[in-house]
Structure 1
Amino acid sequence: MKTAFAFAAMLAAAPVLSSGVACAAESGPPLHFVLIPKTVHPWFDKAMTGAKAAGDMITKATGRPVEIEYRAPQTADVSSQNDIIERAVATHPDGLILDLLDEKGNRAAMDEAADQKIPMTVFDSLPPEGMDITAVGADFCEQGTMAAERLANLVGKKGEVAIMMGVPTAPNHTLRAECEKKVFAKYPDMKVVATGIDNDSIETAQKQASAIMQAHPDLVGWVACDASGPVGIGQAIREGGKTGKVKEVGLDNLNDMIQLIKDGVAESSASSRPEMQGYWAVISAWQKAMGQKTPKYIDTGIDLLTSKTL
């Protein structure tokens, strides 16, 4: 965050940027950004913490108030998310900050925003093909690969494993799953015997993981593609008395995930830094609102969480 503050403060302190837009001592009404995640979820609470920190920094650096409105679908439903996007567009905000459930399914709502000349930034996701939108997030393939390779080493590169898919239409979840499968395909003695779909619900993940482990008693390990999946998987491992017998490498840094690592239920987790994603998504949205060009992609990196690092 110190690096982020220094960068943004530098931009704000400069008298004029290349396009002639003044940054210091901005005047005018509050900047209004709408942040729309995939669903109500603790991961997005962490992203919103970072987003608020960025808004506070911009206000301190420029003197202009920043309002970040949080509008989350109650469930991971594309039509509900599109309805929220469309209603946000009708308020003519200074920018939309989106985590897409379905890049194709969200396209029409995003085209409407583009027609209204409302800048957009996506985070924890990838933009629809052909749309010039900054994406903020980790390298999702690298994250999935890291988790799968770690699990492969834990189980001696042999045995039956399973993948919890998350939301199948979400571009980041899909990419992680594809890259996890590629890792397991490298090892002749490993086999993916099941894939669950939790739709970003911990409860659903727990039920699916329990059913899969009952159907596959020789299962040796799990990876996931979203933040809910590994928490539900860990609960199922614990409740099924399989701690230490079925290995798990999770994703992200939810408090429940961290506790599963501390308790020895999960071995580790590859975290995509949600607070940093929220922070830099707002910085990008602010720059777009000021008429500046922004990068195609901002990589916020990955943390490997283990019992030794927590």
Structure 2
Amino acid sequence: MIRAVCCSVARRPITRRKQESNMRRLLCAATMLCAAVAVGQAHAADRGIAVIVKTANSNYWQNVRKGAADAVAKVENYTMTFQGPTSESAVADQVNMVADAVTQKVAAIVLAPSDPDALVPSIRKAWEAHIPVVLIDSMISDSGAKYYQSFLATDNEAAGEALGKEMVDHVGQTGKVAIMSYVPGVGSEIGRVGGFRKYIAEHSHIQIVGPFYSQSQMALAMNQTTDVLASNPDLKGIFAANEMTAVGVGRAIQQAGKSGKLYAIAFDGNEDEQGFVRSGTFQLLAVQGSYAMGAKGVETAIGVLTGAKPTKYVNTGVVFVTSANLDSPEAKQVLY
């Protein structure tokens, strides 16, 4: 009897130790479960979309940012980062930005590639990491076709051809017309300038002066245009192929006292360009839907993430703006 009591007393400490050990295991498991749930909720609440453009130093790309930000704000559990190099010619910087986004394991990337070839390896890495990429504004080379989900942009070649027609209709079949372009080899530049030159060549005997490349730097475009105007006093027309180039071109035309004396047309539509239309320095702007590119680019990326099948190419259109419709609702939707 005494043995039984002794055995019973001896077993109690062992039982308590087991109970305490079991309790510690349960508490540890509960703590780990709570931590896992918290991490999962944090990821769900912060699915980052990286919007990477050609340069952050441009009203055009800032308008893209506005569209992207508004699209993200309409959807729960998504955030957005926005960045771009200091200039459109800083291709290596943009390549690094895409690589960093992949390393950070963002949910998706919305990209306006500065170079059709240089960005392909980075986009491939995103594809390998199962990060969807939506391209806007400019295309990459055919070698990267399978690495992006959708491409949203103006049909730049068609727009360039339409501007070529406008030029021929206003200056006639002969004479000189200058092309002031931006970064050679960029997808949008190839389309715009290529389409413009194609129409001119097929429908007139106009002599093309240029193209000259400003690297999207206003001051360089201004200096180049000043030289072109001085060396070609008989110039009938001038085509500025993007925003920063156009601002430089407009200022050069004004300083040379040539406003209204030649037919000047340009892409994009910031406040400076609008002012050139009002003053008669520019006769026509071809304005892309930059806000729509940002908004639809993010919407498309979120759609891919939630299982929607994207359209491979979406034409975001272009609006021709002149002094006659500058203040119209249609123009105000695209001007910035």
Deviations 1:109-162 (A, max 9, x none): 111111111110010011431324300111111111122211221212321001
Aligned to 2:11: none
Q: Tell me the SS of whatever aligns to 1:48.
A: helix
How far off is 1:52 after superposition?
A: 1.2
User: Distance between the aligned counterparts of 1:299 and 1:224, measured in 2?
Assistant: 22
Aligned to 2:97: 84
Whichever residue aligns with residue 129 of structure 2, its letter is Q
Aligned to 1:38: 54
Q: List alignment gaps of at least 5 residues for structure 1.
A: 1-26
How far off is 1:69 after superposition?
A: 0.5
Aligned to 1:70: 82
What percentage of residue pairs aligned between the two structures are identical? Answer: 23
How far off is 1:54 after superposition?
A: 1.1
Q: List alignment gaps of at least 5 residues for structure 2.
A: 1-42, 327-336
Deviations 1:270-304 (A, max 9, x none): 11110111111011111112132200111111111
Contact 1:267 1:306 in 2 (8 A): yes
**More helix per residue: 1 or 2?**
2
Contact 1:209 1:236 in 2 (8 A): yes
Q: Tell me the SS of whatever aligns to 2:44.
A: coil
Choose the corresponding residue for 1:120, options 118, 133, 142.
133
Contact 2:111 2:133 in 1 (8 A): yes
Contact 2:52 2:84 in 1 (8 A): yes
Aligned to 1:103: 116
User: Distance between the aligned counterparts of 2:245 and 2:270, measured in 1?
Assistant: 11
TM-score, structure 2 length as denominator? 0.80
User: Distance between the aligned counterparts of 2:204 and 2:82, measured in 1?
Assistant: 46
Whichever residue aligns with residue 141 of structure 2, its letter is P
User: Distance between the aligned counterparts of 2:325 and 2:306, measured in 1?
Assistant: 39
Choose the corresponding residue for 1:264, options 280, 284, 293.
280
User: Distance between the aligned counterparts of 1:49 and 1:33, measured in 2?
Assistant: 14
User: 1:226-237 residue pairs with structure 2 within 5 A?
Assistant: 226-237=242-253
Q: Tell me the SS of whatever aligns to 1:88.
A: helix
1:145 equivalenced with 2:161 (yes/no) = yes
Number of equivalent positions: 279
Whichever residue aligns with residue 59 of structure 2, its letter is P
User: 1:211-290 residue pairs with structure 2 within 5 A?
Assistant: 211-290=227-306
* Structure number with bigger Rg: 2
